[in-house]
Amino acid sequence: MFDLSQFSRRRFLTTAAASRVSAVLLKAYGNPPEPSGTAATEKVEVADINPEMMPETTKVVLSYIPIVEAAPLVIAKERAFFAKYGMTNVEISKQANWASARDNVTIGSQGKGIDGGKWQMPMPHLISCTWKFECQFLD
């Protein structure tokens, strides 16, 4: 077993203080610098797709909640996948919570809201329901 008699109060406080100072230093100096430009701003080679497969609109505002499920949306924007397939004016908007995302998608991008985003499965269905008794999932 581990012998606790080798630790004194002074050694514990010294170790805790050193850990705190190192955490502060790592937070202040350990972060990578902000990128000067993203892949979306660089020249992107557009994919050769048929004219009937081109998107109807090139401008869209998408949102995400900062959780792991939003990674594909953020990576697609950073790697310029939207621009490659014809959507040259895609804006990604971080939302604070599910309620603000719901309200902003109801407003729409014309009203300074959002058009859609990477959400968990029941959200679009629940947004479309107007009354509580209407919100029943289909079998």
How far apart are the C-alpha atoms of 64 and 118, rounded to whole Å? 5
Look at residue 40 and tell me whether its pLDDT is greater than 50.
no
First to last CA, the chain: 57
DSSP state string for 22-83: HHHHHHHHSSPPPPSS-TTTS--PPP---GGGS-S-SEEEEEE-SSGGGHHHHHHHHTTHHH
Q: Which of 9-18, 22-31, 54-63, 102-111 has the lowest mean pLDDT?
A: 22-31
Q: State the average pLDDT for the chain.
A: 76
80-126 per-position pLDDT tens digit = 888 888 888 888 888 888 888 878 888 888 888 888 887 776 666 66
Q: Are 65 and 98 in contact (CB under 8 A)?
A: yes
